[in-house]
C-alpha cells in the first residue's frame, strides 16, 4: 500500500548521481503535475551562482513546473561554463519531464569555484524523473543535504472550510554560511492550496522576514534560494487575500519559522540555540538591528559556547549596532535571571545562576533598552571548536 502524498499535486525524488565524493544522494527533483503558480526569493550576496541568476529570471513569470537541485557543488564562480551547465540541468530535466524548459528552475549547493560534473547530472536525469513519487519527500530531503546533520522538514495546515485543510510543506538544507538577508540556505515549500500568482509572491516576500531572523555564522551564501509552489490540488477558490489569505500566510510563517530554528539547531558544530529578544527600542527596525548584532558577535557566540554570562560582551555588541541607546538604561536577562540592570552588573550570585541557565540546550537572552516600544528577535547558535575544524578543511 502506497504512503500518502507529501503534498498533493507534487512528486519528489532524490538519487545518487556521483556528484559527491561521499557517494551519498546528490540529485533531487520537485515536480508538479502541470505548470503551477510559483514564487521565490534569492540571496542578496552580490557574488551569485549561475543557478540563482537563471531561476530568478524564470520564476519572474509566476509559473513553474519543476525544480532540479544538485548538492556537492555550488556551480558558483564558474564563469560562462557555469551558466551553460545550469541551463543544461534545466534543459534535460524539461526534456525528461516533457515540459517547457523555461518552467524548470535550478538550484545548486556545495563547494564554490569548481566546475559542475554536468555529464553525470545529464546522464542521471531520466532516472531522476522516473524515480519521482508523491511520497518521495524523504529521498528528496536527503539528496539536497551537504554538511547537515539531520533532515529538515516542516508542516502546517491551512483551514479552507469546515472539513477542508490544505497543506504547507517545507524542506530545507543548511548548517553553515547562514545569515539573515534572504538569503539563508536552500528552502523548498509546496502547498496543495490554490493561490493566485500575485498573492503567492506577496505572501512569500513578506513572510520570509521570519526566516531572516536567524544566523549561524554571519555569512550570506552565493546560492541561497527559497522557492514556493502551489499545486491547487485542494480545489479551493484561488486565495487572493481575505481570511483565507491570512490563514495561508500564518501557515507559511509557521513553516518558515520551524525550518529556521531547525537550521540554527543544526549549525555546524552547534551545541546551544539561543533566542535573542530585544524590547524597548525606538523602533522595531532598531530592535532587529540590535538583536542581529548580538547574534552575530563572535565574542557573544563563544561566550554562549562556554556558558559564560559575560554581559559586557552583550552590551558591547549593542553599542556596535548603530542605533540610538542610553547605556545606563539597558537591562539584560539570561533566561529568568537578570544579570545586568541599568547598564551595570547585578553581581556574582546572579551570574552563577545565569551560568546554569546557559548550560541548557536552548534558552532566551532578553534585552530591554527602555527607549521606546520597538521589539525584535533573532535566533542564533554558539560558535564552537567543531565549527572551526569543519570549515577549516571543508574542501579537503
Give CA–CA dist 107/28, Å, rounded: 10
| CA-based max dimension of the chain | 69
| Cα dihedral 329, 291, 283, 366 sign | negative
State the pLDDT at residue 146.
82
Average pLDDT value for residue range 289-302: 90
Name the helix (H) or strand (E) containing 361. Answer: none
End-to-end CA distance of the chain: 44
Question: What's the mean pLDDT in 354-379?
Answer: 94
- What is the structure's pLDDT at 392? 62
Query: What three-state secondary structure class fits 241?
Result: coil
Quote the pLDDT of residue 184: 46
Q: C-alpha 336: how far from its chain's center?
A: 29
Q: Please give the CATH number for the structural domain made up of 273-392.
A: 3.10.20.340
What is the per-residue pLDDT for 182? 46
Tens digits of residue pLDDT in 315-342: 999 998 999 999 999 999 999 999 999 9
Note the pLDDT of residue 220: 58
* pLDDT of 340: 96
Contacts of 33 (CB under 8 A, 6+ apart): 9, 10, 11, 231, 233
* Residues 272-288, mean pLDDT to the nearest whole number: 94
The beta strand positions in the chain, using DSSP E, are 10-15, 27-42, 63-73, 104-111, 152-159, 165-173, 186-191, 225-230, 273-281, 331-334, 337-341, 344-345, 362-368, 374-381
Query: What is residue 254's predicted lDDT score, i.e. its pLDDT?
Result: 95
- Predicted pLDDT at 183: 42
Is the pLDDT at 395 greater than 80? The verdict is: no
Task: Report the distance separating Cα 42 and Cα 291, nearest Å.
Answer: 23
Q: Quote the pLDDT of residue 382.
A: 84
In angstroms, the CA 137 to CA 35 distance is: 20
Domain with residues 10-265, CATH architecture: 4-Layer Sandwich (3.60)
Confidence bin at 52 (pLDDT 50/70/90):
very high
Task: Tell me if residue 184 is catalytic.
Answer: yes
Q: How confident is the model at residue 8 (pLDDT cuts 50, 70, 90)?
A: very high
Compute the average pLDDT of residues 230-248. 96
Q: Nine-digit cell at 147?
A: 554538511
Residues of the chain with CATH 3.10.20.340: 273-392
Q: Is the pLDDT of residue 391 over 70?
A: no
Within 10 angstroms of residue 341's Cβ, the number of other Cβ atoms is 17
- The average pLDDT across 133-151 equals 90
Catalytic residue among 78, 109, 141, 184: 184
Look at residue 117 in the predicted model and tell me its pLDDT: 96
pLDDT at 394: 54
Check residue 176 and give its pLDDT: 52
In this prediction, residues 17-43 reach a mean pLDDT of 94
Confidence grade of residue 268 (pLDDT, cut at 50, 70, 90): low
- Min mean pLDDT across 114-128, 195-209, 226-240, 257-271 is at 257-271
- Render pLDDT for 69-124 as a digit per residue (tens, 0 to 9): 999 999 999 999 999 999 999 999 999 999 999 999 999 998 889 999 999 999 99
Question: What is the torsion angle, in degrees rounded to the nearest 10, for the CA atoms of residue 84, residue 85, residue 89 and residue 94?
Answer: 20
Amino acid at each position: 500500500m502506497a504512503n500518502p502524498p507529501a503534498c498533493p499535486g507534487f512528486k519528489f525524488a532524490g538519487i545518487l548521481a556521483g556528484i559527491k565524493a561521499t557517494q551519498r544522494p546528490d540529485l533531487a527533483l520537485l515536480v508538479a503535475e502541470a505548470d503551477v503558480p510559483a514564487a521565490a526569493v534569492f540571496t542578496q550576496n552580490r557574488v551569485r551562482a549561475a543557478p540563482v541568476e537563471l531561476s530568478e529570471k524564470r520564476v519572474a513569470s509566476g509559473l513553474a513546473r519543476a525544480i532540479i537541485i544538485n548538492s556537492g557543488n555550488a556551480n558558483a564562480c564558474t564563469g560562462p561554463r557555469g551558466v551553460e551547465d545550469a541551463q543544461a540541468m534545466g534543459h534535460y530535466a524539461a526534456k525528461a519531464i516533457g515540459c517547457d524548459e523555461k518552467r524548470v528552475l535550478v538550484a545548486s549547493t556545495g563547494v564554490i569555484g569548481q566546475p559542475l560534473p554536468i555529464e553525470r547530472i545529464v546522464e542521471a536525469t531520466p532516472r531522476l524523473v522516473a524515480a519521482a513519487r508523491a511520497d518521495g519527500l524523504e529521498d528528496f530531503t536527503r539528496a539536497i543535504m551537504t554538511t547537515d546533520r539531520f533532515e529538515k522538514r516542516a508542516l502546517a495546515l491551512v483551514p479552507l472550510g469546515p472539513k477542508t485543510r490544505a497543506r504547507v510543506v517545507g524542506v530545507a538544507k543548511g548548517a553553515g554560511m547562514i545569515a539573515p538577508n534572504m538569503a539563508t540556505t536552500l528552502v523548498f515549500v509546496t502547498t496543495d492550496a490554490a493561490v493566485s500568482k500575485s498573492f503567492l509572491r506577496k505572501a512569500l516576500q513578506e513572510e520570509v522576514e521570519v526566516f531572516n531572523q536567524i544566523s549561524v555564522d554571519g555569512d550570506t551564501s552565493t546560492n541561497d534560494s527559497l522557492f514556493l509552489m502551489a499545486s491547487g490540488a485542494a480545489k479551493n477558490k484561488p486565495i487572493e487575500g481575505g481570511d483565507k489569505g491570512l490563514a495561508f500566510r500564518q501557515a507559511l510563517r509557521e513553516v518558515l519559522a520551524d525550518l529556521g530554528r531547525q537550521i540554527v539547531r543544526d549549525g555546524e558544530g552547534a551545541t546551544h540555540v539561543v533566542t535573542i529578544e530585544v524590547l524597548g527600542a525606538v523602533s522595531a527596525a532598531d530592535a532587529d538591528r540590535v538583536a542581529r548584532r548580538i547574534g552575530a558577535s563572535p565574542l557573544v557566540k563563544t561566550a554562549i559556547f562556554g556558558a559564560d554570562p559575560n554581559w559586557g560582551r552583550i552590551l558591547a555588541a549593542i553599542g556596535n549596532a548603530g542605533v540610538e541607546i542610553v547605556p545606563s538604561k539597558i537591562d539584560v536577562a539570561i533566561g529568568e535571571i537578570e544579570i545586568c540592570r541599568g547598564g551595570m552588573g547585578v553581581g556574582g550570585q546572579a551570574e552563577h545562576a545565569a551560568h546554569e541557565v546557559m548550560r541548557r540546550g536552548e534558552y532566551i537572552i532578553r534585552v530591554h533598552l527602555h527607549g521606546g516600544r520597538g521589539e525584535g528577535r533573532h535566533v542564533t547558535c554558539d560558535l564552537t571548536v567543531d565549527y572551526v575544524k569543519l570549515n577549516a578543511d571543508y574542501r579537503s
